A = this chain, B = another copy of it.
Amino acid sequence: MDQRSSKPDLDSAFNALSDSSRREMIRLLLQRPRRAGELAQNICMSPQALSRHLRVLRKAGLVAEESIENDARVRIYRVHARAFQPVQQWLLQVEELWRAQLLAFKSYAENAQRDRKSKT
């Protein structure tokens, strides 16, 4: 019955996206799958630091690593777009509830206005 453990994927996904370097990495990996070193050049960060960011993204399921046949040392990173779906979905739900709140307020305001008119 612990609420905090109900959606660990959303937690880690949102958390992974809360860092601008990681978002930039996502953006670069969306252009095309890249090697870690390639990212390090563009992000201007030490390979070690970048590797940790990659691990955060990997654990959140947002990126996947795959080997390449030529050189087994390098791993290619690719965005796993499916993992964004829960995030998108949550935000869409927010939008939906927001609209419902707007409608509720609108009808409330209209009722209040009608009540004021009938009172005078």
Which bracket fits the contact residues of A?
35 or more
Q: Is A88 an interface residue (CB 8 A)?
A: yes
Within 8 A of B (CB), among A51-109: 79, 81, 84, 87-88, 90-91, 93-95, 97-98, 100-101, 104
Q: A18-B18, A91-B87, A91-B91 are in contact. Are A98 and B30 (CB under 8 A)?
A: yes
Assembled-state Cα–Cα distance A15/B91 (Å)? 14
A residues with a Cβ closer than 8 A to B are 3-4, 6-7, 10-12, 14-15, 17-21, 23-24, 26-27, 30-32, 43-44, 79, 81, 84, 87-88, 90-91, 93-95, 97-98, 100-101, 104
